[in-house]
Amino acid sequence: MADLDWLTNADRRSPWPQVKAVVAGIGSAGFAAADALLELGAQVTVLDDSDSDANADRGGLLESLDATVRLGEGASTSLPADADLLIVSPGWRPDQPLVAQALAKRLEVWGDVELAWRLMFPDRVVPWLGITGTNGKTTTTQMLESMLRADGLTVSAVGNIGRPIIEALNDEFAYDVLAVELSSFQLHWAPSLRLHSAVVLNLHPDHLEWYGPWTGEDLAMQGYQDDKARIYHQVSQACIYNVAEPLTEEMVAQADVVEGARAIGFTYGIPAVSMLGVVDDVLADRAFIPQRHSSALPLAQLSDVQPQAPHNVENALAAAGLGRSFGIRPAAVAKGLRDLHLGGHRIATVAEVGGVRWIDDSKATNPHAANSSMRAFDSIVWIAGGQAKGTSFDDLIAAHAGKLRGAIVLGADRVMIAETLRHLAPEVPVVVVDTTEPRAAMTEAVAAAAGLAAVGDTVLLAPGCASRDMWTGYDARGDDFAAAVQALGGVR
């Protein structure tokens, strides 16, 4: 291993040909990181335990650029002895052998987000507007991108939303600003971020199975919270928080920010000074106007937000706060919301059959997201289950027991959810689907829901769980739900 003390402060113009870099994971983020390092002249080794066809194709491309690629079981168990730097894809834990070996050797360990941040400097610097939280990140990022574009800015939505940040930085044209969705995993491995503005939308237990093995189960939630709070570190303009969730405001209060950075709240209610909120069905700004102590500036109509569920209005307010912190015009907020077409599986109406609404919110992959969805409806037949990721359903079920006409549970943690329902909502009929073939399981769940639902009810797929125990992702789960509903007939 060479003496590379400069790596601590490395940027695009550093002497990268001296570096032997190891990239853990060859998915989209790992591939982009490896490609960028190869372009800079680094010696790159890529490791991944999967030798799938997609990984083999990516590996072949990287090998053609002189990377060393090792795929297959055990490929990422041991760190090459001469490694100088480890780049990890999202999801790699500090206690996994490859990472633990690098940390024991005191190597720099970065995520692809950290690498992207460093490679902006000194000549490709673009302001980042960052979004994190347990739920709503992708929707808020899409809203923000649409608002920025409506103001005439060149922008890309990047990060956890799907497009690696490094990829955008290598585009042939320069961006005015980036809308950056950041997960807790990405923030954990990105210590150097200094964002223009940032928001933590909300914070509730999630991904505790990632933190527990190396923090201890009792400290898992604290580890998750600490990583989310990193997004506020050294923010230069606005730290935006959710008024309804005091923990997010506490994060702002504890953050080490650039002098002059402001704390800005958003609320579904009437905004106080230095907040955005809702006044008479209008999204209003009392934060980014000179006369904020005496008036509010209209930004958009509530009807511009679709769907109009309370949590989605909060997403719109958070996006508007970020956009306004960057100077976008009020009209761009409204136009951005009207122009936006969100991805599917987010409180999407699939059909109405026999007076029963069927709603697909497969994107609700934890109890907090399911809670947001359930708040929007009065009489619910609930389809839930999947991988609970160590989270509890107690608060969710206790809060909504009175509006549940029935529940159908499926997936890996179906028994736990069923037992919680029987304990906290004993009068609610519960159907347990033991079938594990995805399409058959969803068909059975939909049939059971149809049997429980009455005119005026909403059958709500808001699983509160991850989907990968049975499906390739939440979208595939939602697609199977929609197909099963369509098969009922009588759809309009």
* DSSP conformation letters of 171-187: SSS--SEEEEE--HHHH
Say yes or no to pLDDT of 1 above 70: no
220: pLDDT confidence band, cut at 50, 70 and 90?
A: confident
Out of 36-50, 197-211, 349-363, the most confident range is: 36-50
The tokens 């000074």 sit on which residue? Answer: 273
Could you tell me the pLDDT band of residue 2, with boundaries at 50, 70 and 90? Answer: low
Q: What is the DSSP letter of 7?
A: G
Rg over CA atoms, the chain: 23
Do 459 and 381 meet the contact criterion of CB atoms below 8 Å apart? Answer: yes
Per residue in 373-405, pLDDT (tens digit) is 898 899 999 999 999 988 999 999 999 999 999
Provide mean pLDDT across the span 213-242: 92
Has residue 56 got a pLDDT over 60? yes
Q: How far apart are CA 62 and CA 359, in angstroms?
A: 43
The CATH number of 348-486, from 3.90.190.20, 3.40.50.300, 3.90.1300.10, 3.40.50.2000, is 3.90.190.20
Does 491 score more than 50 pLDDT? no
Task: Write the DSSP symbol of residue 218.
Answer: G
Q: Is the pLDDT of residue 144 over 80?
A: yes
Residue 490 has pLDDT above 70, yes or no: no
What's residue 379's pLDDT?
94
Q: Where are the domains of the chain?
A: 5-111, 126-339, 348-486
Question: C-alpha distances in angstroms, 49 versus 67, 157, 315?
Answer: 17, 29, 37
pLDDT above 90 coverage of the chain, percent: 84
275-279 and 282-285 strand pairing: antiparallel
Determine the Cα–Cα distance for residues 376 and 308; give it in Å rounded to an integer: 9
Range of lowest pLDDT (82-91, 168-177, 337-346): 337-346
Total residue count of the chain as it appears in this document: 492
Compute the distance between CA of residue 369 and CA of residue 372 in angstroms, rounded to an integer. 5
Computed over every residue of the chain, the mean pLDDT equals 94
Taking CA 422 as the corner, what is the angle to CA 418 and CA 427, rounded to the nearest 5 degrees?
125
Instruction: Return phi, psi of residue 160, to 5°.
Output: -65, -15
Mean pLDDT of 103-132: 97
Question: What is the tens place of the pLDDT at every residue in 310-325?
Answer: 999 999 999 999 999 9
| Mean pLDDT of the region 186-190 | 97
Q: How far is CA 307 from CA 128, 236, 280, 348, in A?
A: 27, 32, 18, 8
Torsion of CA 256, 257, 263, 267, to 10 degrees: -70
Which amino acid is residue 277, in one-letter code? G
Q: Grade residue 492 by pLDDT with cuts at 50, 70 and 90.
A: very low
Cα–Cα distances in angstroms (integers) from residue 202 to residues 282, 322, 395, in the given order: 22, 15, 16
Q: How many CB atoms lie within 10 A of CB 99?
A: 21
273 pLDDT more than 70: yes
Query: Strands 356-360, 380-384: parallel, antiparallel or unpaired by DSSP?
Result: unpaired
Sheet holding 404-409, edge to edge: 348-353, 356-360, 458-461, 380-384, 404-409, 430-432
b (16+ CB within 10 A) / e for 53-68: eebeebbeebeeeebe
Average pLDDT, integer, range 178-200: 97
pLDDT score of 279 more than 60:
yes
333: which 2 tokens? 């907020």
Architecture of domain 126-339: 3-Layer(aba) Sandwich (3.40)
For the domain spanning 5-111, the CATH number is: 3.40.50.720
Average pLDDT over residues 8-36: 96
Question: Residue 135: which pLDDT band, with cuts at 50, 70 and 90?
Answer: confident
Q: Which of 252, 65, 18 is nearest to 46 (CA)?
A: 65
**What's the pLDDT tens digit per position in 360-381?**
999 999 998 999 889 889 999 9
Before 307, cis peptide (omega within 30)? yes
CB 428 within 8 A of CB 401: yes
Residue identified by tokens 């005015």 is 176
Helix (H, G, I), strand (E, B) or coil at 50: coil
Q: Where are the beta strands (DSSP E) in 15-89?
A: 20-24, 43-48, 68-71, 85-88
**Residue/partner pairs of 60-64 with CB below 8 Å, 24 or more apart:** 61/31, 62/26, 62/31, 62/34, 62/35, 62/38
